Chain A
Amino acid sequence: NAGVTQTPKFQVLKTGQSMTLQCAQDMNHNSMYWYRQDPGMGLRLIYYSASEGTTDKGEVPNGYNVSRLNKREFSLRLESAAPSQTSVYFCASSTGQGADHFGDGTRLSIL
């Protein structure tokens, strides 16, 4: 039982490059979330998906896009990476009452 799986675990990009962070959950949860965690700060919500087929902006959505591919998968895309997007990105899923299960994160550095 894997829970929430994120790929890749680490990534280094150059400014302006694009990439997609992948997330999949095997708990049949309706809701999925993307957060970023920066040093000295709490996790901040980027985007969320309350159910398959729906997505909504969170607290810090600028520079990101998401796709809820199906009930299991929720991807986060950086179209043109900027150094300010250097962070640790966490995907989470829940039954709809807030984030319950987190993946182990993607550590992203943008040079």
Chain B
Amino acid sequence: KNQVEQSPQSLIILEGKNCTLQCNYTVSPFSNLRWYKQDTGRGPVSLTIMTFSENTKSNGRYTATLDADTKQSSLHITASQLSDSASYICVGGLFSGGYNKLIFGAGTRLAVHP
């Protein structure tokens, strides 16, 4: 069964601190691994997309890693800001039925406090 599991479900950190969010995926045939940021009341916004041959990708203070052998990914946020408060969604992509099907995790809700 294709599935994506994220941990922790929620996290509170102080402004300026770093944090790492985890993702375990079972997606076959694997195509890509994505991280999205979803602000409250808004749609998801893409942060990074990695194929199986990539093991790290950065987008500003966000750095995603991918271990295709262990089927794990992480999202590291450096020097957090209040605006980083959001849900972060891990997504596995696979080719199925002629299109790139996306399997969404339930998300990690991050709160950054001053």
**Interface residues in chain A, defined as those with a beta carbon under 8 Å from any beta carbon in chain B:** 4, 31, 40-45, 48, 50, 56, 90, 92, 96-105
Chain A residues with CB under 8 Å of B107's CB are 42
- Please tell me the number of chain B residues within 8 Å of chain A, measured between CB atoms: 24
**1/0 contact string of B85-99 vs chain A (CB within 8 Å):** 000010101000111
Query: How many cross-chain pairs have Cβ atoms below 8 Å apart between A and B?
Result: 51
Q: Are B106 and A40 in contact (CB under 8 A)?
A: yes
Q: Are A98 and B100 in contact (CB under 8 A)?
A: yes
Chain A residues with CB under 8 Å of B106's CB are 40-42
When C-beta atoms are compared, the residue in chain B nearest to A6 turns out to be B43
A45 to B105, CA, bound (A): 13
Of the residues A44, A97, A105, contact of B104 by C-beta under 8 Å: A44
Known: A56-B97, A98-B100, A102-B43. 11 other contacts (CB 8 A): A40-B106, A41-B106, A42-B103, A42-B107, A45-B102, A48-B99, A90-B44, A92-B43, A96-B99, A96-B100, A98-B101
A100 to B91, CA, bound (A): 12
Q: Is B21 an interface residue (CB 8 A)?
A: no
A99 to B98, CA, bound (A): 14
**Interface residues in chain B, defined as those with a beta carbon under 8 Å from any beta carbon in chain A:** 4, 31-32, 34, 41-46, 89, 91, 93, 97-107
Q: Are A42 and B89 in contact (CB under 8 A)?
A: yes
* Residue among A31, A99, A104 facing the most chain B CB atoms (10 A cut-off): A99
A45 to B99, CA, bound (A): 12
* Chain A interface, DSSP helix/strand/loop, else mixed: loop
**Sample of 6 A–B contacts (CB below 8 Å):** A31-B99, A42-B91, A50-B98, A96-B100, A98-B101, A102-B45
Q: Are A104 and B99 in contact (CB under 8 A)?
A: no
When C-beta atoms are compared, the residue in chain B nearest to A103 turns out to be B43
Q: Are B98 and A43 in contact (CB under 8 A)?
A: no
A44 to B106, CA, bound (A): 10
Of the residues B4, B34, B45, contact of A98 by C-beta under 8 Å: B34
Nearest 3 CB-CB pairings of A with B: A42-B104, A102-B43, A98-B100
